[in-house]
Structures are given as C-alpha cells and as structure tokens.
Amino acid sequence: MSDLPPDLPRLRTLETWLQLSLDRVRQQIADAEKRHAEVAARLPPAPPPDWELELDLSKHPSMVHVGGCTMGGKGFRSRPVSRTDALRLLCVDRLEACPYCRPDAELGVLD
C-alpha cells in the first residue's frame, strides 16, 4: 500500500509542490554559499608556512623551500613541513634546496 494518492491530478499536484520546494531549497543553498564566500573573501589569507616541501608530478619529495617561495610547487605539489622535517630532508635525506630562496642558508646547514 502506497502513501501517495492514486489519481493522476493529485500526483501532478504533489509533483509540482515537491518541485517548488526543491527550487526553494536550492535557492537557500545558493544564498548560503554566497554568504559563505563573501565572509571568506573578507578574511585575511593564511600566512605561508615557515618551510615547504615541493613534490614532483609523481608526488615524491623533490625540493625544500622557505615558506612563501614563489618558485615552489603550487597547491597539490607543495606541503608545509616543520623546521625539524626541513632539516632532516636537507641533511639526512639529502634533498635539494631551492637555489632561489635558499632554505639551507636560512636553516644554517650550508655544505
């Protein structure tokens, strides 16, 4: 037994009501997303991390950068690392230091 009306006119009425309700919900979602975007646009950007690890296209570590270096990988090709990790990557793992921002000089580990 169905909880829906059996006749076509009432089913069409219900369909129209559901469509209008769905349209209202979608409009509310769009308004909420717009408000969220406006608030996010007013917030200051997050400061860059102190140290960054650049990943190559296969997501393997390739180079260490000072945070905010414009020569480093962007987005998915970069991740923040701690000072300890940056030192380990440069000294133990012998990863390359960016020749532009010189994280090895900043960390005091020049060869």
pLDDT in tens, 54-72: 998 888 999 999 998 988 7
Contacts of residue 48, Cβ cutoff 8 Å, sequence gap at least 6: 67, 68
Contact present, 86 and 51 (Cβ < 8 Å): yes
pLDDT at 1 over 60: no
Contact present, 11 and 5 (Cβ < 8 Å): yes
Residue 111: per-residue pLDDT: 58
- Banded model confidence at residue 92, pLDDT cuts 50, 70, 90: very high
Residue 68: per-residue pLDDT: 87
- Banded model confidence at residue 74, pLDDT cuts 50, 70, 90: confident
Residue 70: per-residue pLDDT: 87
- Over residues 70-89, the mean pLDDT reads 88
- Over residues 90-104, the mean pLDDT reads 92
Cα 95 to chain center, whole Å? 25
Tallying the residues shown for the chain, one arrives at 111
Question: What is the DSSP track for 31-84?
Answer: HHHHHHHHHHHHSPPPPPPSEEEEE-TTS-EEEEEETT-TTS--GGGEEEE-HH
Contacts of residue 101, Cβ cutoff 8 Å, sequence gap at least 6: 65, 66, 69, 71, 72
The per-residue pLDDT for range 10-58, each reduced to its tens digit, is 999 999 999 999 999 999 999 999 999 999 999 998 898 999 999 988 8
Map out the domains of the chain as residue ranges.
1-43, 51-107
